[in-house]
Chain A
Amino acid sequence: GAGVSQTPSNKVTEKGKYVELRCDPISGHTALYWYRQSLGQGPEFLIYFQGTGAADDSGLPNDRFFAVRPEGSVSTLKIQRTERGDSAVYLCASSLFPTDTQYFGPGTRLTVL
C-alpha cells in the first residue's frame, strides 16, 4: 500500500513569507507526527495528532508555527513570517495508534532565503 507522502519535496521561500507543508498519512493511521530535522541532527518533535485533535503540541517553537488535521487524515503544517532559522527538513510520520511504529514520509526541505 501507499506510504506517507509529503508535498512539496522542496520549498524555497523568502524571509517573512507564509508557507504550508502537506502530509498524507498511511490510510487508517490515527496518529500523525511532525518533526523538524536540521543538518546533522536527529528529528526534533513538533506536534502530534490523535485523530483530528492535537494531542501534544509542546514541540512547536513559537506561535508562528501551526498545524491542522481537520478530517483526521491529511495534515498541514503552517509557518507564518518565515525566518532563516526555519530552514530544515520537515518530516511527517504516521502510526496505526500511539506508541506504535511510526512510518515516515520523505520530508519537505524548506529553505528560507
Chain B
Amino acid sequence: AQTVTQSQPEMSVQEAETVTLSCTYDTSENNYYLFWYKQPPSRQMILVIRQEAYKQQNATENRFSVNFQKAAKSFSLKISDSQLGDTAMYFCACDKLIFGTGTRLQVFP
C-alpha cells in the first residue's frame, strides 16, 4: 500500500525568508507522480507543484521548488521569498490518491 508522511505538523517563517517542508512516501510503483497542494482557510485545494518520478530534474515553479530524492523516497518543498499569502496548509500527495496529513505553514510579517 502507498503511504505519504509529513512529519512537520506546523512550520513558521518570516516574510521574504526560505522554508522547506518535508515529505516522505512509499510506493511499489515504478512510474508515479508526486504533488504538493496548498489549502488556504478558504479550503480550496490548489496545486503548487508536480514532479514526475521518471524525471531526475527537480521541478520548479517560480518561488516553489522541490528536492526529489527517489532512492530515499523523499519529496520536500522549498518556498523561497515567502509571502504572507503563502500561509496555508500544505499537503504532499502521491498519484495513487494518497495524501499526507499536512503541514500548517504560517508566514509572519
Identify the A interface with B (CB < 8 A): 33, 35, 40-45, 48, 56, 59, 89, 91, 93, 99, 101-107
Contact = CB atoms under 8 A, between A and B. Distances in A.
A59 B99 CA distance: 13
A97 to B, nearest CB: 12
A104 B91 CA distance: 13
A99 B33 contact: yes
A47 B32 CA distance: 19
B44 A42 contact: no
A43 B91 contact: yes
A56 B102 CA distance: 24
A5 to B, nearest CB: 11
| Interface range on chain B (Cβ under 8 Å from partner) | 20 to 34
Contacts of A103: 47
B56 interface: no
A39 B42 CA distance: 14
B90 to A, nearest CB: 10
Contact of A106 (B42, B47, B101): B42
A91 B45 contact: yes
Contact of B97 (A45, A89, A106, A107): A45
Given A101-B35, A102-B35, A106-B43, 9 more contacts: A40-B102, A41-B102, A42-B99, A43-B99, A45-B98, A101-B47, A102-B47, A106-B44, A107-B43
A105 to B, nearest CB: 8
Contacts of A99: 32-33, 95
18 contacts: A35-B97, A40-B102, A41-B101, A42-B99, A42-B101, A42-B102, A45-B97, A45-B98, A89-B43, A99-B95, A101-B50, A102-B47, A104-B37, A104-B44, A105-B44, A106-B42, A107-B43, A107-B44
Most B CB atoms within 10 A — which of A43, A44, A106?
A: A43
A107 B91 CA distance: 16
Nearest to A105: B44
Nearest to B43: A107
A49 to B, nearest CB: 12
